[in-house]
Amino acid sequence: MRSYIRKISYLVAATIVFAGLAGVLAICSAEESQTEKPNENSKCYVCHPDMKIEELTTDHLDMDVTCDECHGPSTEHMHDEMLMTKPDLLFGRSEVDRMCSNPTCHKPGDGREVYGRQDHKDPVAVEEFFEKWTGRMRPNGRAVNHNSVCTDCHGTHNISKPIDTRSGEQPQWVAAFNGSDLAGWKTSDSSNWKVQTGRVVGTAGTNDKGSSLWTEAIYENYLLAITFRATWPVHAGIWLRGAESKSGPRIEIFDSAPTFTGSILIPGKGLTLTNIREDLVDRESWNTISARVEGDKVQVWLNGEEIGSVRGIAPAKGKIGLYIEKHPASKSGRFIVREVQIQKLADAEEK
């Protein structure tokens, strides 16, 4: 009998201890939940710290619109420390305006389906902004034009790094293409490269070697932004630190599933950086490729989305070039470039 009572006492004691531990865990969990509640994006900031001060993020957070409102819960993505899993929802450039035109957020007026400049609270200020920036590169690395989407003007949303100048004494952006002729450029295939209606137009030749248009100037460390469009399918590219006899790395403009525009090719070695997102390029309009070339490292962005970076590039300096080659599935592939903007990096950044 005593033995039985002793066992019962042990069970009661164990139950009390277990209940106490459960209560402590519940309190800790509640406290953790409460600490996260004021900032529902806290888990996102672990891997995306720049988003804490990003205009799109902060403005939406002021209205209690968090990252998961647009990108979904993305549970697997948040727990993937290797960043191999994508968020539940990602939006290609051609999808941005329609996504933003949600009637509960930005309701278009006059029965329109897409929120436009005229729908903003201060249309006059918007038109003044548009007039100031049309045809120019914004500080967020994107060019503003009549085909711009919401994120071209609003915020940086992970694209501040390619144009980070770090100093007020940095050299300014310089246009390498003057919009009227090929002054400052040269090619051995003049029949493949023309200036038409203020654009550089590259046309694939009949040979399989491809054709390049080179700057006469040589560059070492710099920021580059090129706005282009193409007739698809196409195989074109942008040479970085290249030369006619020895080509450097090339940013590819192509569709070669499972890799797409924004990948980096090293001649003789193949692709050293691959973009697996087909949705980043707009086949119907203008696109902007941005690159940071510094030391032995190249970083690439396509329409503001970072593709990635590679190291160990050579040579240490060279020319910038435009490239196009014959595509087997296209008889009239064209590579059309509207702007080539270059900003040399100051000595402080070259160390």
* pLDDT tens track for 318-351: 999 999 988 776 677 899 999 999 999 975 444 4
**Identity of residue 210:** G
Say yes or no: 10 and 64 in one domain: no
- Per-residue pLDDT at 47: 74
- Per-residue pLDDT at 207: 67
Flag whether pLDDT at 167 surpasses 50: no
Residue 28 lies in a domain: yes
Among residues 158, 210, 214, the alpha carbon closest in space to that of 187 is found at 214
C-alpha distance from residue 248 to each of 23, 29, 155, 243, 313 (Å): 63, 54, 33, 7, 8
64-81 tens-digit pLDDT = 888 888 888 888 777 655
Burial class (CB in 10 A: 0-12, 13-18, 19+), 275: buried
Could you tell me the two tokens for 70? 């647009």
Confidence bin at 122 (pLDDT 50/70/90): confident
Residue 46 lies in a domain: no
Integer Rg of the chain from CA: 26
Flag whether pLDDT at 25 surpasses 70: no
| Residue 227 three-state SS | strand
Could you tell me the two tokens for 205? 């030749």
Residue 113 lies in a domain: yes
CA distance 45 to 51: 6
Say yes or no: 134 and 180 in one domain: no
CA distance 332 to 231: 8
Q: Which domain holds residue 309?
A: 167-350
Say yes or no: 85 and 200 in one domain: no
Residue 158 lies in a domain: no
Say yes or no: 260 and 343 in one domain: yes
Q: Which residues pair with 227 in a beta bridge?
A: 288, 339
Comparing 206 with 232, the larger pLDDT belongs to: 232
- Per-residue pLDDT at 137: 64
Confidence bin at 261 (pLDDT 50/70/90): very high
- Per-residue pLDDT at 177: 94
Residue 161 lies in a domain: no
For 64: left if phi > 0, alpha if psi spans -120 to 50, otherwise beta; the answer is left
Say yes or no: 253 and 198 in one domain: yes
Residue 215 lies in a domain: yes
Residue 139 lies in a domain: yes
Residue 43 lies in a domain: no
Say yes or no: 219 and 303 in one domain: yes
Comparing 87 with 277, the larger pLDDT belongs to: 277
Say yes or no: 241 and 325 in one domain: yes
